[in-house]
Amino acid sequence: MRDTRESRLLLVLLIAIAFALITVDIRGGEESPVDGARRAAAAAFGPVENGVAAAVDPVGNAIGAVRDSGARHNRIAELEQQNAALKTKLGSDDRNRSRVRELDRMLKKSAAGQYGIKGAEVIAIGAAQGFSWTVTIDAGSNDGIKRDMTVINGDGLVGRVTTVGPDTSTVLLASDPDFTVGTRMEKTDELGFATGQGSRPLSVQFLNGKAKVKKGDRLVTFGSSKDKPFVPGVPVGEVVRVDPSGGGLTRTVYVRPYVGFTKLDIVGVVVQAPREDPRDMVLPKQPAKPAKPKPTPTVTVTISPNGDIVDTEGNVVGNIHESPDPSGSPSPNAGTAVNEQR
């Protein structure tokens, strides 16, 4: 349409009519004269509006999902944190139960040997102190710890205290190559000296080159003068290999220590030695040997020509022509070996 004076007048007229209709519709309320026209328009354009709404509904859902994703993400993160906390608590409970069992074993060992101990926890290994096999414990001079005290755990001999600070101490482990302890063999009382060999079994030299030693024999500490650095009767280990003496003055055997030096946690420092040597009382009980099966006796009998059943001593124990027991119980000779004489 060209922009002429007539067109501008027509536009102004249409706008005026539109405003007039809006005013009449508002003032008329439900009885508005244009209500019929509005319903007709709704009936005509309603399906089109529904189609458009259906077309854009997935877009609206997507927008809503994006809007709510933050809240769902926060909920998932919260649940993951709760799950991790439960797992941590469960792991902590398992570890606590393990430590309680370890502490219980150590207390039973100390009670059996009448050792007065001070409990401590391993807080560091000896990498920072050189290449020696040492650990640091969280007990020192303030706790009554002194140099050259015996250290044990629920399995046996751990080592001895070498350095003491106010709140911590250094323990030289029995596996260290510079570690040596006097030993006594269970029952036979053969004496020797055990030396650490790192991750390998302890090397024990017996003073008696002809000592009878076999695999499975067990050793305990012999003890030191005034119980320092070692108290007597602490389990050391079990013989796993015996080298021939070769006519030497001493005999060397190899002993697997009871203590696992790579997994130390709770230890006890012996602050009071026993009044008497506990000897072998602290050693764990040996498992009971299975009973030997009793052999099943076999009875050999002979059948004579007249049908008599005769045992090895010549006694007649029956006759094959006799009628079976009416009660139906098996014959007393059932299962015996029978030789028939012809």
Structure confidence by residue, pLDDT tens digits, 194-242: 999 998 999 999 988 888 899 999 999 999 999 999 999 999 999 999 9
- Residues 179, 227 contacting (CB under 8 angstroms): no
At 186, list the tokens: 């269970």
Residue 42, pLDDT > 70, answer no
Strands (E), the chain: 116-125, 134-137, 150-152, 157-164, 169-173, 180-185, 191-197, 200-206, 218-221, 235-242, 251-257, 266-272, 300-303, 308-311, 316-319, 337-340
9-38 pLDDT tens trace:
776 677 767 666 666 555 555 555 555 554
Give the residue among 251, 258, 282 at the shortest CA–CA distance from 173.
Answer: 258
pTM over 0.95: no
Q: Which of 9-18, 97-106, 144-153 has the lowest mean pLDDT?
A: 9-18
pLDDT attached to residue 342: 43
